[in-house]
Amino acid sequence: MKNVLISTGHELRYNDFVRAENCWLFDTSGNKYLDLESGVWCTSLGHCHPKITKVIVEQSQKIIHNGYCYLNPIIDEAAEKLLRITGLDSGKCVFLCSGSEAVEYSLKMTKSFSDKPYFLTMRNCYLSAYGIAGERSQENWIEFDWKKGGCIEEIDFSKISAFIFEPGSSSGLVHFPPRELVDIIVSRVRENGGIIITNEVTTGIGRTGKWFGYNHYNINPDIVVIGKGLGNGYPVSCVAISEAVISRLDLDKFHYAQSHQNDPLGASIANKVIEIIEEENLLPRCQTISEEICNHLKKIKDKYGIIKEIRAKGLMIAIEFEDNSDFSYANMINEELLMRNVILVKRPGFEVFRIDPALTIDKNDIKYFLENLEEIISTIK
């Protein structure tokens, strides 16, 4: 890869994966690797799902891209589905290209109608690679550290324009802020005229066994930000906006234009992703498979004693290992798994594995992973 700049902060381990099918990646020599992270949590229906490939081929033979003054019916069809599954019927959607862009859009939109100076969010959540949410400056943000017992009485809710809530992922560490706490924050924000934005870039589109992470809470958000799984690997994201927020917008003043907004190719893929999840009953499947994986992981935990905690909602699973002064269990097990062609991600600096496989993962692939994991753990002294 002499011509490619790698600036993600992650180590590049392989550079010749030329084909992929569901959870398997194939290199030029024909070796295959089990992808338990769905790329960057994007291929929730598996790599190269045949129905997604078909819609990409068919839509690209019709029209891929729009200009500012014309649209295509497929965009409205995808928007209608998204409004239905978010419960924001009578609202509107905009299609963008990445999760970061969708988060930024939602913030810029909120700033256009709110005179309150701050956004509120939880300290450890991830929101965006750039912009207002990427910088997270004190000028714009109040961050609440619920894990360190932050006190909500210290927050001046009259100054909060929006609470941006990431329901569960916490930068991939899979921590779930308590419902009662979230309920209180949501009602204080609303009482003071602020709005609720849920960041569903990671937790949305079935990842947690429900359509959205906020479905595990008592929240009816005003804006839902969706990315990653929506495109199953194709870069499309969406901001779904309630009718109430739309009515507060002054579209003579709030302008946001980029070249690939509401493009038909991305919308046709999003439309198909939702259709497949419904047709193939993937939400209940996600919950069942999650239970099977977690039950097996608990047995490994009880038997070998090096796993500290298993946290999961649907197929968003984290395994946290005990601290060990001699070596890192997570590093060591990760290296062994890689040697057995199993790819999952270990967060640098944390004794935690993230496992976010496709909702379509084959049960034999799960068995392959769990058997290898147990075999490796059983050899640790």
Ligand X SMILES: Cc1ncc(COP(=O)(O)O)c(C=O)c1O
Applying CB under 6 A, the span of 125-133, 138-146, 259-267, 280-288 interacting with ligand X comes to 125-133
Nearest to 364 by CA among 292, 302, 310: 292
Q: What angle do CA 241, 242, 248 make, to 5 degrees?
A: 95
Q: CA torsion, points 102, 103, 105, 108, in degrees to nearest 10?
A: 180
Residue with tokens 């479905």: 215
Residue with tokens 């329901």: 167
Q: Is 205 left (phi over 0), alpha (psi -120 to 50) or beta?
A: left
User: What is d(CA 370, CA 344) in angstroms, rounded to the nearest whole number?
Assistant: 12
Nearer to ligand X, 22 or 169 (CB): 169
Closest approach of ligand X to the CB of residue 65, in Å: 20
Question: Is residue 169 near ligand X by the rule CB under 6 A?
Answer: yes
Choice from 74, 197, 201, 318 touching ligand X (CB under 6 A): 201
Question: Is residue 45 near ligand X by the rule CB under 6 A?
Answer: no
Choice from 35, 37, 104, 166 touching ligand X (CB under 6 A): 166
Question: Is residue 345 near ligand X by the rule CB under 6 A?
Answer: no
Applying CB under 6 A, the span of 23-31, 54-62, 124-132, 147-155 interacting with ligand X comes to 124-132
Q: Which residue is nearest to ligand X (CB)?
A: 99
Nearest to 237 by CA among 249, 225, 248: 225
Question: Is residue 202 near ligand X by the rule CB under 6 A?
Answer: yes
Nearest to 286 by CA among 354, 219, 355, 233: 355
Closest approach of ligand X to the CB of residue 76, in Å: 24
- All residues at 6 or more sequence positions from 61 whose CB lies less than 8 Å from its CB, including other chains: none
By CB under 6 A, the count of residues binding ligand X is: 14
Applying CB under 6 A, the span of 26-34, 46-54, 95-103, 368-376 interacting with ligand X comes to 95-103
Question: Is residue 199 near ligand X by the rule CB under 6 A?
Answer: yes
Nearer to ligand X, 85 or 96 (CB): 96
User: What is d(CA 100, CA 118) in angstroms, rounded to the nearest whole number?
Assistant: 19
Nearer to ligand X, 172 or 209 (CB): 172
At 334, is the secondary structure helix, strand, or coil?
A: helix
Closest approach of ligand X to the CB of residue 104, in Å: 9
Closest approach of ligand X to the CB of residue 125, in Å: 6
User: What is d(CA 121, CA 165) in angstroms, rounded to the nearest whole number?
Assistant: 6
User: What is d(CA 42, CA 193) in angstroms, rounded to the nearest whole number?
Assistant: 34
Choice from 194, 204, 227, 357 touching ligand X (CB under 6 A): 227
Nearer to ligand X, 88 or 133 (CB): 133
The DSSP letter of residue 22 is: B
Closest approach of ligand X to the CB of residue 240, in Å: 15
Question: Is residue 100 near ligand X by the rule CB under 6 A?
Answer: yes
Choice from 127, 182, 273, 310 touching ligand X (CB under 6 A): 127
At 6, is the secondary structure helix, strand, or coil?
A: coil
Choice from 99, 167, 314, 357 touching ligand X (CB under 6 A): 99
**Residue 24, number of CB atoms within 10 A of its CB:** 17
Nearer to ligand X, 197 or 307 (CB): 197
User: What is d(CA 131, CA 230) in angstroms, rounded to the nearest whole number?
Assistant: 22
Contact residues toward ligand X (CB under 6 A) are 98-100, 103, 126-129, 166, 169, 199, 201-202, 227
